[in-house]
Amino acid sequence: MKPVRIGTRESILAVIQSEMVGDYLEEKGIGYELVKMKTTGDKILNKTLDKIGGKGLFVKELDHALMEGRSDISVHSLKDMPMEVPEELPIIAFSDREDPRDALVLPEGASEIDFSKPIGSSSFRRRIQIEKLYPEARVESVRGNVQTRLRKLDEGQYGALVLAAAGLKRLGLEGRIYKYFEPEEILPAAGQGVLAVQGRTGEDYSWAEGYNDLKTEREVLAERAFVRWLDGGCSSPIAAFARCGEDELVIEGLYYDDPTGKWHRESISGSPEKPEELGIELAKIMKGRYE
């Protein structure tokens, strides 16, 4: 069998995550090689994502390579993928979930947040929740890869950063985490902590069945259905987090009403056999509160 060509962004984190899938392939006796590329989202760093087109800018080049046969699969952080995936480029497997929480990172040597400086976060979802937790805080955008953001923090441009714990852990930077935000404090993005393996229709991906984690799949299908039904993308602070047990799937959502600027959180539970229906049901309930 030919080596599997894995399409990936060039960032250190993206490469590490792609190599994690590659390690699984090698365990199955299948070789792999990385096809690295810089995406539009990686190139434009002076604007927030909602101003330049949203999450699709991180996958467009990888999608083209996959469609044109220059790669065999793509590996993404699921939270960075658009909610609408091309029918011809399906997600063929979800990894088991790394820590889904957001984390607070302080400048090296600091022991508390310096509120005279902004907290760095480019996520509207994080911003509204941070401002509720820390009314005295000013939240400003910070772009770039994790290493770039940490450098800006340590140079004194920010009093703190809020980043995904999963990325810090995969980079070996867990020691930089000052505090974890439990989902009760900051609801994570849909799919946070999960890797998505994307393929091309008509190809044999039977090896992916063993990589796919069913519990995670049910959780993220519910989360993404919730956000998708509400048409929530990178510019909208809509979030969802699901927990799947043997007999019950619990999903909590965050809904932001644009006309009023009001938002709230709510949860429901149901059968894990129908995760997408559950996510849509919660979305309808929450949106209905503002109609």
Nearby residues of 72 by Cβ (< 8 Å), 6 or more positions away: 4, 5, 6, 66, 199, 200, 203
Q: Are 122 and 143 within 8 A, CB to CB? A: yes
End-to-end alpha carbon distance in the chain: 56
Q: 255: which 2 tokens?
A: 């809904």
Is 96 considered catalytic here?
Answer: no
**From CA 61, how far away is CA 74, in angstroms rounded?**
10
H or E, element range at 43: helix 40-43
User: Beta 239-244 vs 249-257: how paired, if at all?
Assistant: antiparallel
The closest alpha carbon to 144, from 262, 13, 254, 284, belongs to 13
User: Beta 249-257 vs 102-105: how paired, if at all?
Assistant: unpaired
**From CA 142, how far away is CA 139, in angstroms rounded?**
9
**From CA 123, how far away is CA 116, in angstroms rounded?**
20
- Residue 264: count of CB within 10 angstroms of its CB: 12
**From CA 282, how far away is CA 187, in angstroms rounded?**
15
**From CA 242, how far away is CA 221, in angstroms rounded?**
9
Set 80, 96, 102, 258: catalytic member: 80
Catalytic residues: 80
